[in-house]
Amino acid sequence: MLRPLTQGEALGRFQVSAAKAERFAEFYTGEGADPASHDSFCRQVFRRSHAERAVDPAQALPCEEVAVADENGWLDFSGNRSLPFHVQRWLSVDLIAPHDGEYAFRLGTCGGVRVWSSARLMACFTPFTRNVMQFQDVRLSLCQGKNRVLIHLDELFERDTLCGLKMVYLDETPLGTVACEGLQQQRIPVPSASDPEHLLMLMAQKEYGPEADALLAHLLKRVSAREEGSVYCLLALLQLWQDYRNTYFPPPLWRRVKSSILGYRYGHDERGCDVMDFSNHASAFRCAQSLAGQLFPDELFIASSRVGHQQKALAEGRMKGAKS
């Protein structure tokens, strides 16, 4: 079925691939984020490594579902990730041109967009400004008749992340689009979080067993990976160490608890590449830093290269500064 596309209208239906999600910078530590920048260090690394990279359209994933834009023409793939993930999608749309020529579009994106027409790269617009839509006007070379336009959309997902595309037609000469009939419309899952308080409740009630073992292993995994929100898991580990150290759980697990505490990143000024939100969880991070420093006064904290009593003094100074 052919649909008209006139000046000022946005493309509304695309064929879309499944998402390809890869953990980003899992083993990269580097330096702390630039305090003058609003970007996380993780995004600074991502922009340097991914904005100008070559993307091969021959490696495009099959576009087997339909994605529909909203009433404003915004095609939304936003979501939440507690760890930094590079998420990529391929999209395609068929445009019908009345004659050979160049046709103008305005691209809007939260993320980065590359556009090919007849296998030729027409646009590479990769601002990667987190949660801020950017625009660029582009011209697509189309042949008379049907043209397959291929689009690559990607973004670094860190916590709540806007990701999407808007493609508005600017020329006066009408085009046609081919509706995507017979394909399934996509839905996008959002990952869930866990509650570390349940483990503390089990320990307080002396309900030891496989459930407590599994919960501790899960908290350790989140803290070691420095997931967003993991500071509350860390606070639970600190309380476990303070109240139950070297009881019930075997020594290897307690060694993991200690190494997770010493290896954690407690602030922007410490080394690491993750998507933890230090601003909105500031009090939790300061509390964790203070308690960790108190429990391990002479131990080295890996991300900061400070010993525990220095961590404690720094956290207490920050807490006093926040109150004044």
Residue 282 in any domain: the answer is yes
pLDDT at residue 190, as a whole number: 36
pLDDT digits (tens, 9 = 90+) for 45-76: 899 899 999 999 999 999 999 999 988 899 99
Residue 239 in any domain: the answer is yes
Give this prediction's pTM. 0.72
Residue 45 in any domain: the answer is yes
> Last residue of a domain, which of 185, 219, 245?
185
> Last residue of a domain, which of 135, 155, 185?
185
What parts of the chain have a pLDDT lower than 70? 1, 26-37, 179-186, 188-195, 323-324
pLDDT at residue 37, as a whole number: 60
> For the chain, how many structural domains are there in total?
2
Do 211 and 67 sit in the same domain of this protein?
no
Do 136 and 16 sit in the same domain of this protein?
yes
Residue 21 in any domain: the answer is yes
Do 158 and 223 sit in the same domain of this protein?
no
Do 277 and 311 sit in the same domain of this protein?
yes
pLDDT at residue 188, as a whole number: 40
DSSP secondary-structure letter at 78? -
Please, are residues 140 and 96 in contact by the beta-carbon 8 Å criterion?
no
pLDDT at residue 155, as a whole number: 96
Q: Which residues contact 213 (CB under 8 A, 6 or more apart)?
A: 249, 253
pLDDT at residue 263, as a whole number: 95
Do 140 and 206 sit in the same domain of this protein?
no
User: Could you tell me the CATH number of the domain that includes residue 67?
Assistant: 2.60.120
Q: Which residues contact 28 (CB under 8 A, 6 or more apart)?
A: 45, 273
Do 81 and 223 sit in the same domain of this protein?
no
Residue 92 in any domain: the answer is yes
Do 68 and 29 sit in the same domain of this protein?
yes
The residue segments making up the domain with residue 231 are 197-323
**Would you state the structure tokens that stand for residue 209, as one six-digit string?**
């067993």
Q: Which residues contact 183 (CB under 8 A, 6 or more apart)?
A: 15, 64, 65, 66
Do 236 and 161 sit in the same domain of this protein?
no
Do 11 and 156 sit in the same domain of this protein?
yes
Residue 287 in any domain: the answer is yes
Q: Taking Cα atoms as reference points, which of 239, 233, 240 lies closest to residue 194? A: 233
Do 24 and 171 sit in the same domain of this protein?
yes
Residue 190 in any domain: the answer is no
**Would you state the structure tokens that stand for residue 176, as one six-digit string?**
């046609």
Do 145 and 259 sit in the same domain of this protein?
no
> Last residue of a domain, which of 128, 159, 185?
185
Other beta carbons within 10 angstroms of residue 159's beta carbon come to 20
Q: Are strands 79-97 and 145-161 parallel, antiparallel or unpaired?
A: antiparallel
pLDDT at residue 191, as a whole number: 35
**Would you state the structure tokens that stand for residue 199, as one six-digit string?**
């483990």
Do 88 and 205 sit in the same domain of this protein?
no
Residue 191 in any domain: the answer is no
